[in-house]
Structure 1
Amino acid sequence: MAIPYCKILQLCLGLSLIFHNFSLANPFIVDDHRQGHQNNNNLSTKLIRLTSPLFVFGDSLFDPGNNNYIDTNPNFWSNFLPYGETHFEIATGRFSNGRIIPDFIAKYANLPLIPPYFQSGYKQFSYGVNFASGGAGALVETHQGKVSCYRWQDVKDHLLFLRLDIDAVSRTILITSIICYFSIFNISSHVIIIRSLQAISLKEQMMYFKDVEKQLRKRIGDRETQELLSNAVYMFDIGVNDLSEPDPMYRNFTSQDYIDIIVANFTDVLKEVYKAGGRKFVLLNLLPLDCTPCARAQNNAEKLAELVNQFNEALSREFKKLEKQLNGFLYSEFDFFTAVNDRIQNPSRYGFKEVRNACCGSGIYRGNYSCGGKRDGECDYELCDNPQDYFFFDCHHPSEKAYEQIAELMWNGPPSMVGQYNLKSLFEIQSRELAL
């Protein structure tokens, strides 16, 4: 089967871009001296040991710019203004007007800004890394791209034509305009599977974490890697996209059965991190999706509210089970739902003037996801004058001010909001105190 020329061209251009990006500075990542984070480009040869690195998994609430590197549709991009303009003054790929929760947690933990996994040249991982991807779900099927099969020889010939390092390509799962599973092609029939990508699912993020683990073991040895991974804090936010846009294959499932599948997939990833040495976990339950400007505009708030309640209850039960099953498993279960709901019900108490409308968007409540004018052909949008007055920046995502308040509560919050530990406590716990 001959590979279509247009597909080969797309593949080659994409691979050229990814190799180009690995050799140049990433245009979407800024050296954030304004918040006291140090640029760590001088760490090219020496691993700097930290007490607790931070590894981040999740969706658009945590994505620092990983989606900049994939040719997804504009609904899963935020690398255009006015995103980022309040703090960074450029669009970094964060779905807000400035910093997001992992940025603030890193600041409180005295860590540098945790970069996206695909940041050019960042291969140290001593501070941790962020795998989150806008649009991601716990289920692989959530926002999954199309799959095609091609002959490996056809692909290889075109890589040779471009003078790309085939051995390097074939050893790596590359994300670009398409995703290439070189590691699972069938040698006997020379078949390669190529899948177009919309978002990097949680299980795919886990694959990249395993690659980080392998790189660390190769560079610093098993003992040092084990200590680094056991000291690290692992932060997760997932489930919104699974609930709000379920894949059609699940249409005949009851809501509870579907939620159980989501939670089971998430649990599998947690156990994989635990198996690698992780012991300190942070999870946000889901915010009240029925209160977002998008849900208000679409008038589907009641259904979303029921699903979110079911999901949060199931997730809480599962974490309690894991605590009993996994020796040394420590966790912070942040009540994101209550924190957001409290601010929506009592905005003035927290310094907000507007909690029903988004700062950026169009239509009623500015509930059309049109911020920036680059999504689904919607060029028109409105932008508020003072984002700090708004809880929501666009119709899905909070503003930098809201994120900062949430992060502060995660860091120093009481047991009623964070469960077993707040993040400050988790970061202070050393591996020698943990059961490994």
Structure 2
Amino acid sequence: MGYVLNRRVSFSLLTVIIVMFSSCKADSKCEFKAIFNFGDSNSDTGGFWAAFPAQSGPWGMTYFKKPVGRASDGRLIIDFLAESLGMPFLSPYLQSIGSDFRHGANFATLASTVLLPNTSLFVSGISPFSLAIQLNQMKQFKVRVDEFHSSDLPGLHILPPSNIFGKSLYTFYIGQNDFTSNLASIGVDGVKQYLPQVIGQISGTIKEIYGIGGQTFLVLNLAPVGCYPAILTGYTHSNSDLDKFGCLIPVNKAVEYYNSLLKKTLSETRTELKNATIIYLDTHKTLLDLFQHPLSYGMKHGIKACCGYGGRPYNFDQKLFCGTTKVIGNSSVTAKACRDPQNYVSWDGIHATEAANHRILTAILNGSISYPPFALNHICPSV
């Protein structure tokens, strides 16, 4: 199904955030020392491109003014979150040059899935860095940090203290590729059959991190991918499948099923982990409202991509994704970026613009999309 479904680059899922705030009381200063992130392209700060260097413009044009490994025109939600907590942007775990892990690490990579990529559920084209691999990287990172401090080895200047892991925020923004990678081949009903496995794996990962000292977790839920230009142009449908906003009804209903199950599972996990506070972030709510009512947020375009080719209504071509050039007919054409990405919700038909990411971050900070109720800017006065 084109770039999103064949290359498995979705605006990643899951996106659930679990926050365990056992050490943060409402009347105390909540100081997170680090962030450890698990995810896909929605929160990848350069891991994929560190492993497979190839990114070119117009990526990063809004904030960085150059490609920096983000699947956006600028900052991602995880970038804004780090800034809000007074931290630098997270260094990708896979980046060997220039990384600084004193404030955490980012294990996310573009096209990553929750389930193992070699399972029969998936075909080739997705990232080898599934959630299980990212968890193993996290465990190894902790082991190495402990070893370096116990032996006073060189390199401590870019590593966190060994007691940081219980004072960190663990964020999860993954699952979208599990959802979108098979839509074209097995349809919505087929995808729904294995979504409980996806959610179970996320819950299991949280439990493992809790077992090695994790105290705070944030989990973002799945975005309304039925509003994404890449899905709208790649998933076979009729006009009756579209709602009044132009989004795919059956796809978004399946997303709602996933998010409902995710919320329920996290509630059960919260009960099981007595000393943990688990927060489910309904980023879907904000993003759907952005797609449906962009004007209410000072934007102009919902389901139209800023960077792409094809014009109205989606400006997206499955064979010509953002920044690439191809001969179509007798002409060489390029999928170019618009001049005003701040007016778009969708950057490239697959991922959000910096403007959209910033609006989601605002909702995260004020607690309007968290369950149970949780306002980061109230619990952490430094925010």
Larger radius of gyration: 1
Report the counterpart of residue 218 of structure 1 in structure 2.
147
Larger CA deviation: 304-313 vs 233-242: 304-313
Report the counterpart of residue 217 of structure 2 in structure 1.
281
Distance in 2, Cα, partners of 1:296 & 1:253:
17
Distance in 2, Cα, partners of 1:381 & 1:123:
32
Report the counterpart of residue 308 of structure 2 in structure 1.
361
* One-letter amino acid of the counterpart of residue 106, structure 1: A
Distance in 1, Cα, partners of 2:133 & 2:274:
26
Identity %: 26
Structure 1 segment 379-394 matched on structure 2, within 5 A: 380-394=334-348
8 Å CA contact 2:183, 2:235 repeated in 1: no
Structure 1 segment 61-76 matched on structure 2, within 5 A: 61-71=42-52
Give, in angstroms, the shift of residue 246 of structure 1: 3.4
Report the counterpart of residue 372 of structure 2 in structure 1.
419
- Higher helix proportion (structure 1 or 2): 1
Give, in angstroms, the shift of residue 256 of structure 1: 4.2
Report the counterpart of residue 111 of structure 1 in structure 2.
87
Distance in 1, Cα, partners of 2:215 & 2:325:
41
Gaps of 5+ in 1: 1-49, 147-194, 430-436
Change (3 A) 1:205 1:406: same
Of structures 1 and 2, the one scoring higher in RCO (CA 8 A, sep 6+) is: 2
Distance in 1, Cα, partners of 2:162 & 2:307:
44
Give, in angstroms, the shift of residue 423 of structure 1: 3.4
Of 110, 125, 141, the match for 1:134: 110
Report the counterpart of residue 231 of structure 2 in structure 1.
295
Gaps of 5+ in 2: 1-30, 152-159, 237-247
Distance in 1, Cα, partners of 2:226 & 2:184:
22
What do the CA deviations read for 1:361-381 (whole angstroms, capped 9, x no partner)? Answer: 112511225101069999621
Instruction: Tell me the C-alpha RMSD between the 2 structures.
Output: 3.3
Q: Which structure 1 residue ranges, 4+ long, deviate > 3 Å from structure 2? A: 121-124, 195-199, 224-227, 246-257, 374-379, 416-420, 422-429
Change (3 A) 1:404 1:143: farther
Give, in angstroms, the shift of residue 297 of structure 1: 2.1
What do the CA deviations read for 1:17-49 (whole angstroms, capped 9, x no partner)? Answer: xxxxxxxxxxxxxxxxxxxxxxxxxxxxxxxxx
Larger CA deviation: 209-218 vs 372-381: 372-381
Give, in angstroms, the shift of residue 71 of structure 1: 3.6
Distance in 1, Cα, partners of 2:118 & 2:372:
29
1:55 aligns with 2:8: no
* One-letter amino acid of the counterpart of residue 56, structure 1: N
Change (3 A) 1:253 1:307: closer
Give, in angstroms, the shift of residue 239 of structure 1: 1.1
* One-letter amino acid of the counterpart of residue 347, structure 1: P
Give, in angstroms, the shift of residue 200 of structure 1: 1.5
Distance in 1, Cα, partners of 2:260 & 2:217:
18
* One-letter amino acid of the counterpart of residue 388, structure 1: Q
